[in-house]
Amino acid sequence: MTFLSITYGLFLLSTLGIFWTVEQRSLRLWILVIASLVFYSSQQIQYVPLLLVMTLLTFYVGQAIGTPMDWRVDDRQWQFAQQDWNRRRLWLLGIGISLNILLLLGFKYVPFLLESIGGVTGATAAPEQADWIRDHVIAPLGISFFSFECIAYLVDVYRGAPATHSLLKFFAYKLFFPKLISGPITRFHPFAAQLQTLQFPVSSQVIEGLWLIACGAVKKLLLADHLGTVVNLTFSNVERAGSGDLWLATLAYGLQLYLDFSGYVDVARGGAILLGFELPQNFDFPYFAISIADFWRRWHITLGDWLRNYLYFPLGGSRQGLARTCLNLLIVMVIAGIWHGAAWGFIVWGGLHGLGLVIHRLTAALSDRSESLQRWWKSIPGVIVAWLFTQLMVFTTWIFFRLPNLKDSSLVFQRFFGHVADIQFSQKVYVESLQIDRLQLTGLLGLLVIGMGLAYGLNRGLKLQLAWTIKILLVPICLFAAWLLAPNETPPYIYFDF
């Protein structure tokens, strides 16, 4: 059972009917927990016990961290008691974080580590073991998002937020099925606050929830999956593709990745609204960012917030000078790359984004000392140049996402200029598979970009929103069009792999 399937639609309707029929808050929480377990069991029932155990461990470690200090000590012993209390809390925090990191390492990174060790030492057994693990061990869906939420909760409690004493409430938060597999990454305390004021959504909220689900269906089924066909055909035949074909595939993959992931988040947020919850926004027109820092304020917003709050700030942020700030940015983005996947391509992607953030920080520091530079970056030509450079970097570095094997991704960069596609490639890809020529494909991608630009201009520039009457009319049209025009085989969401 996956999002946008008929089975999921029936499941969501059934859950909504039962959820809003009961009155007691505890019963509603039980319904959420049971529904979430059913949802996850439909995809990977073997990992349900693991999620339950990790949720229990996080809950009890959080309680232990949040246990207040015993103030019934002698004044002379107070300072020592406080030091012991702080050491105990830090030790417990370290255990909780380590458990979650070990969980990620065990399922996602052991084959990569073994291959890397084998490459350095020349041992042949390590790559063989890595292949065996990769063939026999499948990582739990959503494990990265799940672990990051656990770490965030423990750190929040350590910093002074109250630990919850309701195991049921914590289970409802951790297993909440709309966000369970691919986010958005959600903190416990804002979620728990919504539980206190949970009310049946008003008509405008119901329409907004349905509209988000319809938008997610169009993004995923009608756009992203068809773009995926172009991407797969080209990147699986890099040796035969021409430079123009590779540039088109790079653009198509960047659009596919955004539409696929933001479509998932739209469906997740829409379902959550129908259940009375507001999940955080995860995208804000990232392909119209004019700097790499601006891009990370708009792309995967909840991951960016997590990286800032739980990595960048603890490392010192920007409080210890420009050089240390640049180093912190590099460290954080390399870790972000590792989080996305166990391959050198993801590490290179993170390093390049870290380098982009460093260049932006140095450019900003230089501009602060020059009024002429400030005027240039604020001028229309300056904004256009900044946008072009930012998006060129963003789209080209996505290649390491699509082809995380450095041998494959480096071949794409080598063939970006001066290569002509062979006749078989054009015949197989454009004539037989896509049934359009390269010029027509370029036009379709251009229309998609223009459409995104119009949506950005209306939403951010003119602050215009569709009326609820128009949305309610478009919902069935969008859902029907997505169902009718979707590819015969719908691939899973891309971020399921991360």
If one counts the domains in the chain, the total is: 3
Question: pLDDT category, 70, cuts 50, 70, 90?
Answer: low
Based on the fold, state whether residues 343 and 313 are members of the same structural domain.
Answer: yes
Based on the fold, state whether residues 103 and 144 are members of the same structural domain.
Answer: yes
Query: Residue 245, class by beta-carbon neighbours within 10 Å (0-12 exposed, 13-18 middle, 19+ buried)?
Result: buried
Is the residue at 396 inside a domain? Answer: yes
Based on the fold, state whether residues 230 and 171 are members of the same structural domain.
Answer: no
Q: What is the rounded distance in angstroms from the CA atom of residue 431 to the CA atom of residue 495?
A: 31
Q: Final residue of a domain: which of 143, 178, 198?
A: 198
Is the residue at 126 inside a domain? Answer: yes
Q: Final residue of a domain: which of 178, 198, 218?
A: 198
DSSP secondary structure letter of residue 492: P
| More confident call, 67 vs 113 | 67
Predicted confidence at residue 140, as pLDDT, reads 86
Is the residue at 1 inside a domain? Answer: no
Is the residue at 307 inside a domain? Answer: yes
Q: Final residue of a domain: which of 198, 214, 247?
A: 198
Predicted confidence at residue 183, as pLDDT, reads 85
Is the residue at 80 inside a domain? Answer: yes
> Which residue has tokens 């979620």?
191
Is the residue at 59 inside a domain? Answer: yes
Averaged pLDDT, 481-485? 91
Residue 272 contacts residue 278 (beta carbons within 8 Å)? yes
User: Minimal CA–CA distance to 106: which of 73, 78, 72, 133?
Assistant: 133
Predicted confidence at residue 223, as pLDDT, reads 95
Q: Which phi and psi angles does 28 have, rounded to 5°?
A: -65, -40
Q: What is the rounded distance in angstroms from the CA atom of residue 278 to the CA atom of residue 187?
A: 12
Based on the fold, state whether residues 98 and 114 are members of the same structural domain.
Answer: yes
Based on the fold, state whether residues 19 and 148 are members of the same structural domain.
Answer: yes
Q: What is the rounded distance in angstroms from the CA atom of residue 299 to the CA atom of residue 301?
A: 5
| More confident call, 432 vs 75 | 432
463: left (phi over 0), alpha (psi -120 to 50) or beta: left
Q: How close are the terminal C-alpha atoms of the chain, in Å?
A: 19
> Which residue has tokens 């590490």?
347
What's the CA dihedral at 331, 332, 334, 335 to 10 degrees?
A: 120
Q: What residue type is assigned to position 329 of the chain?
A: L
Based on the fold, state whether residues 176 and 229 are members of the same structural domain.
Answer: no
Based on the fold, state whether residues 173 and 40 are members of the same structural domain.
Answer: yes
Based on the fold, state whether residues 25 and 168 are members of the same structural domain.
Answer: yes
Domain that holds residue 10: 6-198
Axis crossing angle, helix 48-66 with helix 78-104, rounded to the nearest 10: 170
Question: pLDDT category, 431, cuts 50, 70, 90?
Answer: confident
User: Minimal CA–CA distance to 311: which of 263, 268, 354, 349?
Assistant: 354
Predicted confidence at residue 111, as pLDDT, reads 77
Least confident of 88-97, 162-171, 374-383, 462-471: 462-471
Based on the fold, state whether residues 54 and 98 are members of the same structural domain.
Answer: yes
Predicted confidence at residue 91, as pLDDT, reads 95
Averaged pLDDT, 90-96? 94
List CB contacts of 172: < 8 A, sequence separation 6 or more: 29, 32, 33, 36, 195
Predicted confidence at residue 67, as pLDDT, reads 85
Based on the fold, state whether residues 290 and 277 are members of the same structural domain.
Answer: no
Q: What is the rounded distance in angstroms from the CA atom of residue 178 to the CA atom of residue 264?
A: 9
Is the residue at 441 inside a domain? Answer: yes
- Average model confidence (pLDDT) for the chain? 90
Residue 18 has pLDDT above 70, yes or no: yes
Is the residue at 407 inside a domain? Answer: no
SS3 state of residue 405: coil
List CB contacts of 47: < 8 A, sequence separation 6 or more: 40, 140, 141
Predicted confidence at residue 110, as pLDDT, reads 79
Based on the fold, state whether residues 362 and 342 are members of the same structural domain.
Answer: yes
Based on the fold, state whether residues 113 and 135 are members of the same structural domain.
Answer: yes
Q: Is the bond into 162 cis (omega within 30 degrees of 0)?
A: no
